[in-house]
Amino acid sequence: MKRKAPRIFIIVLVTVAILATMILTALPGSTRTIIADYFGRVFDPLVSFAQAGAKSAGNFFSAVSENRELKDEIAKLEIENSDLRQEIRVNEEKVKAYDELEDALNLKSRFKDYEIVGGKVINRSIGPMFDLFRINLGREDGIWVTSDRSYPVLDSQHNLVGRLYSSELGSSRVLPLLHEGFSISSKVSASAGNNFRVRGSVEYKNRRLCLADQIPEGTPVRVGDLIVSSGDGGLYPEGIEIGRVVEIINDSRSNAMQALIEPSSQLEELNYIFVLIDHALPSGAEGK
């Protein structure tokens, strides 16, 4: 029992010292004791470190949460942006269709003796440039193409595109004016001179040009002249714009003149076309 007395004395002494320290530091207006200062120097950095760690952890989880919210917002904005782009495309198509309809009305007033039927290019043939292409108009639309019956095809700006080559029930094929199988009687728009032929040419097709030949001697044809349909032959009304002269070709041996014509119609960009149907033909001609 005597051996335990020093231990109990030490425990009591330490307890009294701690209580005295707590009482002194808790008194109003009292200053920190040396012991309190010593322990403060030890524990204050630990407390500050713990507080900084807790703050960093809080900032990290806050940043993660904000980043997740930002990603969700970006995803919503991307969906809204996609929907907006689609709406813009639809509206652009509507505006374009309206413009085409307005041009069709202008065609109607210009070619009063013809029925104007509007159609859309649905595909282009695989093969040489500016080969035959297909439109969404056919026999069910009153279009019957035979060996001696065809129809002029114009774009929305009243420029010549070509003529119909064949017709099926719901579609037809168009022979464009750059094709080597196409030809039309033409003239210089501002001149009362002779008529001549404009045709497609294998030699000049890749340059996107037509060839004007069979030009009578003395016919005034110059670079920059506007070439239009003459109206001869019965298929094409007079005055349809074909294109402009970009080059004169003179053959010194035969004294013959030819000219290269750049079509006014932008064939590569065609989306809508207009077919001129002549109802002045004899009854039943359309069904042959």
Domain boundary among 55, 81, 110: 110
Per the model's pLDDT, the better-predicted residue between 181 and 95 turns out to be 181
Q: Which two tokens stand for residue 279?
A: 């109802």
Please report whether residue 151 resides in a domain: yes
Give yes or no for residue 1 having a pLDDT over 50.
no
Question: 287: pLDDT confidence band, cut at 50, 70 and 90?
Answer: very low
Q: Which of 203, 276, 285 is nearest to 236 (CA)?
A: 276
Residues 148, 61 within the same domain = no
Structure confidence at residue 72 (pLDDT): 79
Q: What domain range includes position 47?
A: 1-23+34-110
pLDDT at residue 63 in the model? 67
Give the pLDDT confidence score for residue 109 in this predicted structure.
Answer: 74
List beta partners, residue 110: none
| Residue 245 to residue 259: CA distance in whole angstroms | 6
pLDDT tens digits, residue range 70-106? 777 888 888 877 777 777 766 566 555 555 555 566 7
Which range is least confidently modeled, 16-20, 151-155, 258-262, 279-283?
Answer: 279-283
Distance CA 104, CA 96 (A): 12
Positive/negative CA dihedral, 113, 215, 179, 130: negative
The pLDDT, as a whole number, for residue 28 is 55
Percent of the chain's residues with pLDDT above 90: 36
23, 35 Cβ separation under 8 angstroms: no
Q: How many CB atoms lie within 10 A of CB 244?
A: 17
pLDDT digits (tens, 9 = 90+) for 235-250: 999 999 999 999 999 8
User: Average per-residue pLDDT in the chain?
Assistant: 78
Residues 88 and 210 in one domain: no
The amino acid that residue 23 corresponds to is I
In terms of domains, do 106 and 136 share one? no
Based on the domain organization, do 139 and 88 belong to the same domain? no
Residue appearing with tokens 């307890």: 15
- Which pLDDT score is estimated for 238? 92
Looking at residue 48, its amino acid is: S
Specify the pLDDT at position 200. 95
Per-residue pLDDT band at 191 (split at 50, 70, 90): confident
Q: Return the CA Rg of the chain.
A: 45
pLDDT digits (tens, 9 = 90+) for 53-62: 656 666 666 6
Question: Is 29 domain-assigned?
Answer: no
In which band, very low, low, confident or very high, does the pLDDT at 265 lie, cut at 50, 70 and 90?
Answer: very high
The residue ranking higher by pLDDT, 85 or 282, is: 85
- The mean per-residue pLDDT over the stretch 120-139 comes to 79
Res. 162: pLDDT tops 60? yes
Q: Check residue 130 and give its pLDDT.
A: 58
Asked which of 110, 134, 153 is the last residue of a domain, the reply is 110
- Shared domain for 13 and 152, answered yes or no, is no
Those residues with Cβ within 8 angstroms of residue 247's Cβ, 6 or more apart along the chain or in another chain: 223, 259, 260
Q: The domain spanning residue 281 has which CATH number? A: 2.40.10.350
Report the pLDDT averaged over residues 125-149.
82
End of a domain among 110, 130, 164?
110
User: Do 227 and 282 belong to one domain?
Assistant: yes
Residue 177 has pLDDT above 80, yes or no: yes
Model pLDDT, residue 244: 97
Nearest to 165 by CA among 185, 145, 139: 145
